[in-house]
Amino acid sequence: MVDISQETIKANYIEIILGTDDIVAVGGYRESVNMSLIQQYLKMESQEEKAFLILKNQRENEQKEVLRKKMKEFEKEKQDKRFQKIESNYFNKYHFSL
């Protein structure tokens, strides 16, 4: 059994509000529920939240990887342009056109 005290309620007020929200059905009628059913609802929400956070982290990691690849491409293009510029300057400085 969970110790119900003022400190426990203050620490878990959001979960309590969300749990009591689950008591009211879609039609607005109250359902007959007990503490174990409310805990089950909260666990389901927690599992859904965990799945959402895992998916969100996967998407963020994929975006980071895409960004890394684009940055590598950008750096390579930048390096190629520098090399072409140096090569062009060298050719113009030390070779004559005929």
Question: What are the tens digits of pLDDT across the range 36-60?
Answer: 877 777 777 677 778 888 999 999 9
- For residues 45 and 18, the answer to whether their CB atoms sit within 8 Å is yes
Euclidean distance between CA atoms 67 and 94, whole angstroms: 40
Query: What pLDDT does 95 receive?
Result: 64
- Counting the structural domains of the chain, the total is 1
Domain of 69? 6-94
Judge if pTM exceeds 0.85: no
- For residues 8 and 2, the answer to whether their CB atoms sit within 8 Å is yes
Query: What pLDDT does 9 receive?
Result: 80
Query: What pLDDT does 21 receive?
Result: 63
Angle at 54 between CA 48 and CA 69, to 5 degrees: 150
Contacts of 31 (CB under 8 A, 6+ apart): 23, 24, 25
Q: Which residues of the chain have pLDDT under 50?
A: 98
**In-domain check, residue 1:** no
**In-domain check, residue 88:** yes
